[in-house]
Amino acid sequence: MKTLLTTLNSKYIHSSLALRYIKSYCEDDFDIILEEYTINQHSDDVVAELYRQQADIIAFSCYIWNIEQILEVVSLLKKVQPEVKILLGGPEVSFDPVKTMEENYAVDYIICGEGEITFKEFLDKLSKDGDLATVKGLVYREDDKIIKNNPRPVIDDLDEIPSPYKSMEGLENKIIYFESNRGCPFNCQYCLSSTLSSVRYFSLERVKRELLKFIKAKVKQVKFVDRTFNCNQSRALEIFKFLLENKPDDHEMNFHFEITADLLSDEVIEFLAKVPKGYFQFEIGVQSTNLETLELIDRKMNFERLSEVVKRLFEPENIHLHLDLIAGLPKEDYQSFRNSFNDVYNLRPGRLQLGFLKLIKGSGLRVREREYEYVYTPMPPYEVLASKELSYSQMLKLKMIEEVLETFGNSHHFDYSIEFIEKNFYDTPFDMYESLAEFWEKKGYYRYSHKLESLYEYLQEFYREYCQAKEDLFDELLKFDLLLGRRKVDLPDFLNKYEIEDYKSKFKDFVNDEQMIKEHLPELIDLSSRQIQRQIQIETFKYNILNVIDGFTVDVEEDYTVILFNYYNESTLFNKALFKEIKI
């Protein structure tokens, strides 16, 4: 009995942790193969690939981002291979499996909840013509009926599940998803985890063994999928210390964690200050700073403590910090969301992720959708379009704000230019992005993609229409931001280049002057002058740009200043060049 495990990942670099667990749990007793595709592939092509396998059973892992396409693939596959048995599993089919099967006749079985034990028992019964009624967690067809068996209890001893990474084959250049625990200690009403059990842990010995395997395999990124990685402080700290002790020297990699910042102890924060730049990144779910909203969604958070922790984590500039907000939560109208946005943005995280509420099947907010007058898409991802507090028009404004935030804020290509605009022309960050979104929509720039260089010109255009003060000063800031991101000897036409008299001769003397290199570029001392030239740029600015970015004031006089940009050893979190003022 040939069994194929498959799914449609959202991107090629993603990989399915769930399927690897099931394969590992069952492969000693059954013939199991695993194939992964993406939602960017045509359904016809996926069907053709699956058909060529001629499997007896094909099991799909289903989520809100792939369920519609999976159902299309399943329907087509059954037409060309009617004898194949189709099984679905995963969070998107676990809540209402009977309805899913009633609406999709091509689906023969559904597994609800954790799938390792259930899937193995299912294969065992099926291979022996046994009684499927004894398989807990299984939904199946019997004649014209759909039978839903009793639910399966969660697995208490997680170490019973074999490693999903016995082999690292096929995972080259992909993100590795990993969990050190299952479940969630919180009960947030927008999340499916609110319906699950309390937290269960894999043993620390096993976790360390797996992490060491990833380090030795030279993977680039490991994403912990634990809902709250630091719900156990001492355990989290031990894992952090283990990763630091075993940090690889021969390749770059990083570890991503979802954490609750206000739970971090002073001991953990002090330790994290010593972690090398970029080795860890944290995603912190704030969601809202409206106290009434937080109470309604059962989200426990001390924003004052969270703010203190975020500032302390950011101070060493060594850890990427992603802070999340959700638009569309109960009692959060446009003004309230503006406040939440400003509260979080003013913490200056590396990334402010503006998400939109999705009414996931089984979540508390989905159950209470009428109370909050939610209007949402009937098909996945069930995104909220309007609510009692937010009109569809306001949601569209927030969507445009999200786009310009991603383009100009979270990209970090325009950090000084954006902060200059915010501090001099707007009362709050939200007001600035609201204006930028208005400009973006009016010009129609949201309709197509753009080259990076064009975005600098568009921001210049926005400044001249909405700010209209010291335009030449702002142009110098734009030039500074552009050069921080990349070496660009030939500046674009919309930016001014101020030539130093006899520049080529002075530049040549500089890179050949050992004393000057020792003073300004000591890390390049072992390079030849030709090699040094390729790693630096010297540019003249009409104003003392270092004073400008120190205070972000428009009240400055012309003061031609020469800046050295060093691209050799980008040591900042956002891969910016090092810079300093020089005299040549």
Tokens 């492969």 belong to 27
Q: What is the pLDDT of residues 523-581, one digit of tens each?
A: 999 999 999 999 999 999 999 999 999 988 888 999 999 999 999 875 567 889 999 99
Report which of 8, 64, 54 is spatially closest to residue 31, judged by C-alpha positions: 54
Hey, which residues does 386 pair with through a beta bridge? 375
With contact defined as beta carbons under 8 Å apart, do 344 and 351 qualify? no
Report which of 306, 293, 271 is spatially closest to residue 390, judged by C-alpha positions: 293
User: What's the rounded mean pLDDT across residues 196-222?
Assistant: 92
Q: Starting from the edge strand earliest in sequence, which strands make up the sheet with 254-259, in order?
A: 176-178, 221-224, 254-259, 280-287, 320-327, 351-356
> How long, in residues, is the chain?
584
Using pLDDT thresholds of 50, 70 and 90, give the confidence band for residue 501.
confident
Looking from the CA of 510 toward its CB, the CA atoms found within 13 Å total 19
Residues 6+ apart with CB under 8 A from 427: none
Query: And the tokens for 426?
Result: 């707007």
CATH class of 175-390: alpha beta
Distance CA 371, CA 472 (A): 53
Distance CA 296, CA 289 (A): 12
Q: What is the pLDDT of residue 483?
A: 97
Query: And the tokens for 474?
Result: 């702002």
Q: How high is the mean pLDDT of the chain?
A: 94
What type of residue sits at position 436?
L
Q: What is the pLDDT of residues 256-283, one digit of tens each?
A: 999 999 999 999 999 999 999 999 999 9
With contact defined as beta carbons under 8 Å apart, do 125 and 135 qualify? yes
Distance CA 30, CA 408 (A): 51
Distance CA 77, CA 339 (A): 50
**pLDDT higher than threshold 90 for residue 173:** no
The secondary structure of 486-520 as a DSSP string is S--SS--TTS---PPTTHHHHHHHHHH-HHHHHHH
Q: What is the pLDDT of residues 425-437, one digit of tens each?
A: 999 999 999 999 9
Looking from the CA of 130 toward its CB, the CA atoms found within 13 Å total 13
Q: What is the pLDDT of residue 10?
A: 94
Query: And the tokens for 425?
Result: 């022309």
SS3 for 344?
helix
Distance CA 176, CA 269 (A): 26
Domain locations along the chain: 3-148, 175-390, 494-581
Q: What is the pLDDT of residue 571?
A: 59
Residues 6+ apart with CB under 8 A from 370: none
Distance CA 214, CA 164 (A): 12
CA 59 to chain centre: 27
The secondary structure of 134-177 as a DSSP string is GSTTEEEEETTEEEEPPPPPP-S-GGGSPPTTS--TT-TTSPEE
SS3 for 414?
coil
With contact defined as beta carbons under 8 Å apart, do 416 and 481 qualify? yes
Tokens 């009109």 belong to 391
The secondary structure of 95-107 as a DSSP string is SSHHHHHHH-TT-
Distances (CA, A) of 554 to 105, 258, 460, 470: 67, 40, 16, 7
Using pLDDT thresholds of 50, 70 and 90, give the confidence band for residue 502.
confident
Distance CA 550, CA 391 (A): 40
Measured from the Cβ of residue 43, the count of other Cβ atoms closer than 10 Å reads 20
Distance CA 116, CA 268 (A): 34
Tokens 């037409």 belong to 79
Q: What is the pLDDT of residues 110-141, one digit of tens each?
A: 999 999 999 999 999 999 888 999 999 999 99
**pLDDT higher than threshold 70 for residue 196:** no
Distance CA 83, CA 584 (A): 79
User: What's the rounded mean pLDDT across residues 313-317?
Assistant: 93
Q: What is the pLDDT of residue 193?
A: 67
User: What's the rounded mean pLDDT across residues 306-329?
Assistant: 96
Strand 57-61 and strand 32-38: the pairing is unpaired
Q: What is the pLDDT of residue 194?
A: 53
With contact defined as beta carbons under 8 Å apart, do 11 and 105 qualify? no
Query: And the tokens for 379?
Result: 């098909």
With contact defined as beta carbons under 8 Å apart, do 161 and 204 qualify? no
Q: What is the pLDDT of residues 74-112, one digit of tens each?
A: 999 999 999 999 999 999 999 999 999 999 999 999 999
Query: And the tokens for 233?
Result: 């402080």
Distance CA 122, CA 137 (A): 10
E strand or H helix at 352: strand 351-356
Q: What is the pLDDT of residues 399-424, one digit of tens each?
A: 999 999 999 999 999 999 999 999 99
Quote the pTM value.
0.93
- CB burial of residue 16 (10 Å; 0-12, 13-18, 19+): buried
SS3 for 178?
strand
Hey, which residues does 540 pair with through a beta bridge? 562
Share of the chain above pLDDT 90, in %: 87
Helix orientation angle between 204-216 and 233-245, rounded to the nearest 10 degrees: 30
End-to-end alpha carbon distance in the chain: 76
Using pLDDT thresholds of 50, 70 and 90, give the confidence band for residue 377.
very high
One-letter-per-residue 3-state SS of 535-557: HEEEEEECCCHHHHHHHCCCCCC
Using pLDDT thresholds of 50, 70 and 90, give the confidence band for residue 170.
confident
Q: State the fold for domain 3-148.
A: Rossmann fold (3.40.50)
Q: Is 3-148's fold the same as 175-390's?
A: no
Most distant CA atoms of the chain, gap in Å: 90
Q: What is the pLDDT of residues 49-64, one digit of tens each?
A: 999 999 999 999 999 9
Report which of 420, 296, 306 is spatially closest to residue 365, judged by C-alpha positions: 296
